[in-house]
Amino acid sequence: MGQITLEGMEFFAHHGVSDEEQKTGNRYSVDICIDADLQAPCLSDDLADTLNYGRIYAIIAEEMQTRSRLLEHLAYRIILRLKEEFTGMLKVTLHVSKYNPPVGGVVHRSKVTLEESFIH
């Protein structure tokens, strides 16, 4: 087993509970760690045998552009899309952070973490 991790993906998007957040947008950061059996790509050196992290990034970027009120909802949508695309995932840990969330005080980031296991 192994892990494929993408850290520090940054996006500008329009998520948030308030209409103002939805209108003005904000900066977001996404980190993902996917557990998978990586034996085949280790032996073959073939992109077709692994989880293509260019495609992982593209799916996350697409979902970031579809508005959500809650980071939890956004994160879950990302996981569902990845699950549809990649059958070799065993577990996904996804962090979605919003910079400078409007909470009435100084907060660098708010963050939601979802973890989903696909082991049967």
Amino acid at 109: R
Asked whether 72 and 16 are in contact (CB, 8 A), the reply is: no
Q: Where are the beta strands (DSSP E) in the chain?
A: 2-13, 26-36, 89-99, 109-117
Q: Which two tokens stand for residue 32?
A: 């993902």
* Tally of CB atoms within 10 A around 3: 12
Is 91 marked active-site? no
83, 91, 98, 111: which is the annotated catalytic residue? 98
Catalytic positions, written as ranges: 98
